């Protein structure tokens, strides 16, 4: 019995040594036990690239003279092209800060209610926003060849 236990312990130790040796060689499969593997993953996470800029949002920011980064951030959060244009038209009409209107919109207040609260004709905003979108899409299609729609 003692001999069997000793053999079993010996095989377990040999198996552990073999697993450790294979992990050090690193065949590209399985868990990587090499020191520094965590550091490499952490570095790659820290060096995340900024997502590519949407060309249509760039056109909208140029058209309204707004910071592209702010509009790109709103677009990545789920704001559509027409919604961005409507918000920017309201901002332009009432001379308010973009963030003030966005805060209200984030509270799920309808754009028609926001426009109404500032005394802006929402029907005019609605009509104009689709016209501007069509115009910008036409420009975007002629310069890039395609448009990503939301």
SS3 for 20?
Answer: helix
Provide the residue ranges of all domains of the chain, joining segments of one domain with +.
Answer: 2-46, 55-144
CA atoms within 13 A on the CB side of 34: 15
Structure token digits, residue 33: 């036990």
For residue 116, name the pLDDT band (cuts at 50, 70, 90). Answer: very high
Q: Is 86 exposed, middle or buried (0-12, 13-18, 19+ CB in 10 A)?
A: buried
Q: For the segment 126-139, what is each residue's pLDDT rounded down to a tens digit?
A: 999 999 999 999 98
Would you state the pLDDT for residue 147?
47
pTM for the whole structure: 0.64
């Amino acid at each position: 019995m003692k001999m069997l236990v000793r053999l079993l312990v010996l095989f377990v130790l040999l198996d552990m040594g073999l697993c450790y040796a294979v992990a050090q060689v690193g065949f590209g499969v399985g868990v990587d036990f090499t020191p520094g593997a965590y550091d490499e993953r952490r570095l790659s996470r820290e060096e995340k690239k900024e997502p590519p800029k949407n060309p249509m949002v760039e056109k909208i920011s140029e058209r309204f003279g707004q910071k592209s980064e702010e509009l790109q951030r709103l677009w990545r959060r789920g704001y559509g092209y027409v919604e961005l244009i409507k918000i920017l038209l309201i901002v332009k009409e009432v001379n308010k800060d973009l963030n003030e209107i966005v805060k209200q919109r984030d509270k799920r207040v309808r754009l028609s209610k926001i426009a109404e609260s500032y005394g802006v004709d929402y029907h005019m905003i609605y009509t104009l926003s689709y016209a501007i979108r069509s115009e910008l899409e036409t420009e975007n299609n002629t310069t890039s060849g395609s448009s990503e729609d939301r």
